[in-house]
């Protein structure tokens, strides 16, 4: 018999509020360690390196092979160092370059900078091979050794150095150090803003409700977790089935309603869709006991009830982004199991349902890491957005940490801020209970994919979903790798349309028509069709230039039942359970609402 794991089970054991004296002592120790390490368990990495070193010690053949490889690489570097003919060879000829963007500038072909780059790339190549070559090491420990060694090497990359980066060295000489003075000023300002909890410099030009999230609409429902926004129609006729969008609660919803030119919401209503958007409340420490079932009921089940009332009983296209997509899939499975015919389709945008290959973010999730994090959240009541943001920065340290060091602090140049950067700095907190449940049931135990998840009192599985699915992955996604998103083909028992868009986790979603350099691939596998591996799919499906937005809109209309007059903007009966405080006097709350403005 398969053991099931419910969200409510975690309430009884995941983050207890009472402890005996010995348990409290342990907890305080874990909290202190978590604060020092940024929530990362040193024991996790110690175990990985012990596994790797121990197996290397009993594999003399592998050790000899790695030693021979190191000697060969050193000899090659020596040849480049002593022979003048090689001083100006273009880096493109180096077998270890692998298209590393850090060394694409022509200045890196000059000596000694070319030598620095080759030495770094040779070392990086050796470690990349060594992390995978030792037999007997567990897959997770290989991933951790590879990840941590790469992070250490990225720290030591010559592109980060004052005198080992040709562009920085030249700028310092030309400006006689003025760039360093500007950089020090930038650093002091950034540290002061960080300490005060203020957003980064330059983001003040993007105000929510004025510059961002300006699509006209109205809040039609509010409870302790969500505000539900209905947007004004932009066409005389709309598809009969409205769209309900559930964003991730780790972010503000307006990534899907940025500036007018790149707002997915505005694009949808311009194409004749009625759109509702969930806006999550930014939880406080007193919300520590809000769990996944609460998010499911408020963000999916109750929101669907409001949409149903306003849209006159029409079925709904349920859309989820990132974590919101995982929740939407759970909700769709729950409705399918209950035989509630309320959905027309399910769309998952960069959302995972099978966490077996969840990408590098999973290196932060094991029993040791989660135990440390649970104890920290037990004290705080919430997980602060800065801690989660730090994890994402480490995943993309080249772009988010070291390139910032080079540009802003060594060269003294501030970047041109864009709306997506301003949104990215506007993080949210997460209740301790919910986050612990999410990490355990999905990342750690993969309960949903393996048929063990109990949500709102019902066992749910992806095979319970009875409506067509549109699943979108993005090619450079570090949070929800597209091959992990693609795994829904193995679990869903319905038609699945999979699309792969260029870009990353956020940039690939904010991919408006006219955005240069964009492309996507798309294919539908019918319920009775055969499985195709992700690599086979990539080879067989040709790429189309442009944005995936129009193709998705067409797909939604194909799964709609015609057109109708736009429904009126929702009115809330002040005596109903959905009443909004203050709106009984005829003063509705316009979009973007109030929750999105919370800090």
DSSP secondary structure of 53-79: HHHHHT-HHHHHHHHHHHHHHHHHHHH
User: Is residue 487 very low, low, confident or very high in pLDDT (cuts 50, 70, 90)?
Assistant: very high
Mean pLDDT of the chain: 89
**pLDDT (tens digit per residue) in 511-534:** 999 988 999 999 999 999 999 999
322 tagged catalytic: yes
CA-CA distance, 408 to 547, in Å (whole number)? 32
Average pLDDT over residues 342-367: 89
User: Is residue 584 very low, low, confident or very high in pLDDT (cuts 50, 70, 90)?
Assistant: very low
Q: What is the pLDDT of residue 17?
A: 46
Catalytic residue selected from 74, 98, 157, 322: 322
Q: What is the pLDDT of residue 19?
A: 58
Say whether 465 sits in a helix, a strand or coil. Answer: coil
What lies within 8 Å, CB to CB, of 361 at 6+ separation is 391, 392, 395, 443, 478, 479
Question: By mean pLDDT, which of 151-165, 170-184, 194-208, 379-393 is the weakest?
Answer: 379-393
User: Is residue 364 very low, low, confident or very high in pLDDT (cuts 50, 70, 90)?
Assistant: confident
Using CA atoms, how far residue 483 sits from 32, 471, 475, in Å, is 37, 11, 9
Average pLDDT over residues 579-595: 71
Q: What is the pLDDT of residue 596?
A: 96
> Where are the CATH 3.40.50.1820 domain residues in the chain?
217-384+429-560+568-597
Q: Which of 373-387, 407-421, 457-471 has the highest mean pLDDT?
A: 457-471
What lies within 8 Å, CB to CB, of 413 at 6+ separation is 179, 182, 407
CA-CA distance, 453 to 460, in Å (whole number)? 6
Place of tokens 């959302």: 351
Average pLDDT over residues 180-199: 90
CA dihedral 528, 534, 535, 537 (to 10 degrees): 40
Burial label, 347 (beta-carbon count in 10 A; 0-12, 13-18, 19+): buried
Q: What is the pLDDT of residue 12?
A: 44
Average pLDDT over residues 535-562: 96
Closest by alpha carbon to 34, among 43, 22, 21?
Answer: 43
Average pLDDT over residues 9-36: 68
The larger pLDDT score, comparing residue 455 to residue 366, is at 455
**pLDDT (tens digit per residue) in 193-222:** 888 878 888 787 899 999 999 999 999 999
pTM: 0.90
Inform me whether the pLDDT recorded for 293 exceeds 70: yes
Question: By mean pLDDT, which of 8-22, 68-82, 373-387 is the weakest?
Answer: 8-22
Inform me whether the pLDDT recorded for 386 exceeds 60: yes
**pLDDT (tens digit per residue) in 50-97:** 999 999 999 999 999 999 999 999 998 888 777 655 555 454 444 444
Q: What is the pLDDT of residue 374?
A: 86
Inform me whether the pLDDT recorded for 575 exceeds 60: no
What lies within 8 Å, CB to CB, of 461 at 6+ separation is 333, 448, 451, 453, 491
Q: What is the pLDDT of residue 536?
A: 95
Q: What is the pLDDT of residue 3?
A: 64
User: Is residue 106 very low, low, confident or very high in pLDDT (cuts 50, 70, 90)?
Assistant: confident
Q: What is the pLDDT of residue 357?
A: 85
Using CA atoms, how far residue 153 sits from 113, 148, 160, in Å, is 17, 9, 11
Percentage of the chain exceeding pLDDT 70: 90
User: Is residue 415 very low, low, confident or very high in pLDDT (cuts 50, 70, 90)?
Assistant: confident
206 CB neighbour count, 10 Å cutoff: 22
**pLDDT (tens digit per residue) in 216-265:** 999 999 999 999 999 999 999 999 999 999 999 988 999 999 999 999 99
Closest by alpha carbon to 261, among 211, 209, 217?
Answer: 211
CA-CA distance, 367 to 455, in Å (whole number)? 22
DSSP code at position 578: T
Query: Is the CATH number of domain 217-384+429-560+568-597 3.40.50.1820?
Result: yes
CA-CA distance, 407 to 178, in Å (whole number)? 14
Closest by alpha carbon to 240, among 301, 304, 311?
Answer: 311
Q: What is the pLDDT of residue 484?
A: 95
Say whether 13 sits in a helix, a strand or coil. Answer: helix
CA-CA distance, 42 to 55, in Å (whole number)? 20
Average pLDDT over residues 133-147: 94
**pLDDT (tens digit per residue) in 303-332:** 999 999 999 989 999 999 999 999 999 999
Say whether 205 sits in a helix, a strand or coil. Answer: helix
User: Is residue 131 very low, low, confident or very high in pLDDT (cuts 50, 70, 90)?
Assistant: very high
């Amino acid at each position: 018999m398969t053991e099931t794991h419910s969200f409510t089970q975690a309430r009884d054991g995941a983050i207890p509020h009472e402890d005996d004296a010995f348990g409290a002592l342990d907890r305080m120790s874990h909290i202190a360690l978590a604060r020092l390490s940024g929530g990362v368990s040193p024991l996790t990495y110690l175990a990985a390196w012990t596994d790797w070193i121990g197996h290397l010690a009993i594999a003399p053949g592998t050790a000899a092979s790695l030693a021979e490889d190191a000697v060969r690489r050193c000899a090659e570097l020596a040849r480049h160092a002593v022979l003048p003919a090689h001083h100006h060879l273009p880096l493109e000829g180096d077998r270890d370059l692998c298209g590393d963007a850090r060394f694409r500038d022509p200045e890196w072909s000059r000596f000694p900078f070319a030598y620095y780059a080759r030495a770094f790339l040779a070392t990086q190549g050796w470690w990349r091979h060594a992390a995978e070559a030792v037999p007997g090491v567990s897959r997770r420990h290989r991933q951790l050794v590879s990840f941590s060694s790469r992070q250490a090497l990225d720290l030591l990359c010559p592109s980060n150095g004052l005198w080992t980066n040709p562009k920085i060295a030249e700028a310092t000489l030309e400006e006689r150090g003025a760039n360093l003075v500007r950089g020090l000023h930038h650093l002091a300002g950034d540290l002061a803003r960080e300490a005060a909890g203020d957003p980064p410099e330059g983001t003040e030009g993007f105000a929510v409700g004025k510059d961002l999230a300006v699509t006209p609409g109205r809040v039609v429902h509010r409870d302790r977790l969500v505000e539900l926004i209905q947007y004004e129609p932009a066409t005389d006729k709309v598809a009969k089935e409205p769209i309900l969008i559930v964003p991730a609660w780790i972010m503000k919803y307006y990534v899907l309603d940025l500036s007018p030119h790149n707002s997915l919401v505005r694009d949808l209503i311009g194409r004749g869709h009625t759109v509702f958007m969930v806006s999550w409340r930014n939880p406080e420490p007193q919300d520590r006991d809000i769990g996944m079932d609460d998010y499911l009921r408020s963000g999916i089940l109750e929101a669907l009830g409001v949409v149903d009332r306003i849209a006159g009983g029409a079925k709904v296209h349920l859309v989820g982004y990132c974590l919101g997509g995982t929740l939407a899939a759970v909700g769709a499975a729950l409705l399918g199991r209950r035989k509630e015919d309320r959905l027309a389709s399910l769309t998952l945008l960069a959302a995972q349902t099978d966490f077996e290959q969840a990408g590098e973010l999973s290196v932060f999730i094991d029993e040791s890491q989660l135990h440390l994090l649970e104890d920290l959240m037990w004290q705080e009541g919430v997980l602060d957005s800065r801690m989660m943001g730090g994890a994402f920065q480490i995943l993309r340290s080249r772009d988010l940490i070291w390139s910032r060091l080079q540009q802003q602090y060594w060269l003294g140049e501030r970047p041109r801020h864009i709306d997506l950067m301003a949104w990215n700095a506007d993080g949210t907190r997460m209740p301790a209970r919910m986050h612990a449940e999410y990490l355990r049931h999905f990342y750690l135990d993969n309960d949903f994919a393996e048929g063990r998840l109990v949500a709102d009192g019902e066992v749910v599985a992806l095979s319970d979903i009875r409506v067509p699915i549109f699943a979108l992955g993005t090619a450079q996604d570090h949070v929800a790798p597209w091959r992990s998103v693609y795994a829904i083909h193995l679990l869903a028992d319905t038609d699945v349309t999979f699309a792969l868009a260029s870009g990353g986790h956020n940039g690939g979603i904010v991919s408006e028509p006219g955005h240069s350099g964009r492309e996507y691939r798309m294919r539908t596998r019918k319920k009775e069709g055969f499985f195709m591996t992700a690599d086979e799919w990539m080879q067989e499906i040709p790429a189309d230039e442009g944005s995936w937005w129009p193709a998705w809109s067409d797909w939604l209309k194909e799964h709609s039942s015609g057109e109708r007059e736009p429904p009126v903007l929702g009115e809330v009966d002040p005596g109903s359970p959905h009443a909004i405080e203050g709106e009984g006097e005829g003063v509705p709350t316009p979009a973007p609402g109030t929750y999105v403005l919370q800090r």
